[in-house]
A and B are shown apart, each in its own frame.
Chain A
Amino acid sequence: QVLLQESGPGLVKPSQTLSLTCTVSGASISTAKYYWNWIRQHPGEGLEWIGRIYYSGGVYFNPSVKSRATISQDTSKNQFSLTLTSVTSADTAVYYCAREVSGPQRGDFDYWGQGALVTVSS
């Protein structure tokens, strides 16, 4: 069974850095079969894709956050992480990590974490 679990501070001060980690069990992040993604959902709103990392370390971002976001991986712990700098209240959201099936005819998110609420407030 594939499980993803987000962890990190639930409260971040404005202008500081948001850091979240996704721990994966039941699947290896070191396989070419999948991408590992971060997706967020502002309160009461829809889903927004943030970015993804591939087993090779290649990363891709939504232009809306590209200048502030970093995604990294720790294959020894089977984890990948998101950092978002210079946060504002607009970054308050539930942050999900999700597995994406790779391949030219895929690109769907088949497993999701339970989500982590991050509030940006002083």
Chain B
Amino acid sequence: SYELTQPPSVSVSPGQTATITCSGDRLGTKFASWYQQRPGQSPVLVIHQDDKRPSGIPDRFSASNSGSTATLTISGAQPADEADYYCQAWDNNVAVFGGGTKVTVL
């Protein structure tokens, strides 16, 4: 079955840039989405179609997808960005999520 691999954790200082990677076989040939999940809350879509931000998502969130790696970048990280982040793609009509990356802002 298809797998997406993320680093378990990323730490970033306030105002600095956090980069989260998501690796999968030929991931660049698929569309990647990213979700933010704060503790005790439901996931929120922050990126779709590789690099598009839904309405209401701050422009400090950006992303790319090429080769076998999708990348989510948080520029100027804020304390409110502390959360778990999941990448997601489809393979053979099955939605696959990465294992999640815990972003700590400190």
Q: Is the CB of A47 closer than 8 A to any CB of chain B?
A: yes
- Measured CB to CB, the nearest residue on chain B to A48 is B97
Q: Majority SS of interface residues in chain A?
A: strand
A114 to B44, CA, bound (A): 11
A48 to B99, CA, bound (A): 9
Cβ-defined contact, A62 with B94, below 8 A:
yes
How many residues of chain B get a CB closer than 8 Å to chain A's CBs? 23
A112 to B88, CA, bound (A): 15
Q: Is the CB of B43 closer than 8 A to any CB of chain A?
A: yes
A110 to B34, CA, bound (A): 11
Size category of the binding interface on chain A: 20 to 34
Cβ-defined contact, A49 with B97, below 8 A:
yes
Cβ-defined contact, B31 with A63, below 8 A:
no
Q: Is the CB of A46 closer than 8 A to any CB of chain B?
A: yes
Quick one: which of A39, A52, A60, A108 contacts B33, CB cutoff 8 A? A108
In the assembled complex, the CB of B57 is this many whole angstroms from the nearest CB of chain A, namely 11
Q: Is the CB of A36 closer than 8 A to any CB of chain B?
A: no
A115 to B44, CA, bound (A): 13
Quick one: which of A52, A96, A107 contacts B42, CB cutoff 8 A? A96
Q: Is the CB of A55 closer than 8 A to any CB of chain B?
A: no
In the assembled complex, the CB of A104 is this many whole angstroms from the nearest CB of chain B, namely 9
User: Given the complex, which residues of B lie within 8 Å of A49, measured CB to CB?
Assistant: 94-97
A62 to B1, CA, bound (A): 10
Cβ-defined contact, B94 with A105, below 8 A:
no
A11 to B99, CA, bound (A): 26
Cross-chain pairs A/B with CB under 8 angstroms, 23 sampled: A37-B95, A39-B95, A46-B86, A46-B99, A47-B88, A47-B97, A47-B100, A49-B96, A60-B94, A63-B94, A96-B42, A101-B48, A105-B31, A106-B31, A106-B49, A107-B31, A107-B33, A107-B95, A108-B49, A109-B35, A109-B45, A110-B48, A113-B42
Give the B-binding residues of A (Cβ under 8 A).
37, 39, 46-49, 52, 60, 62-63, 96, 101, 105-110, 112-115
Known: A49-B96, A52-B95, A110-B48. 11 other contacts (CB 8 A): A47-B43, A47-B97, A48-B97, A62-B94, A101-B48, A105-B31, A107-B31, A107-B90, A108-B88, A110-B54, A113-B42
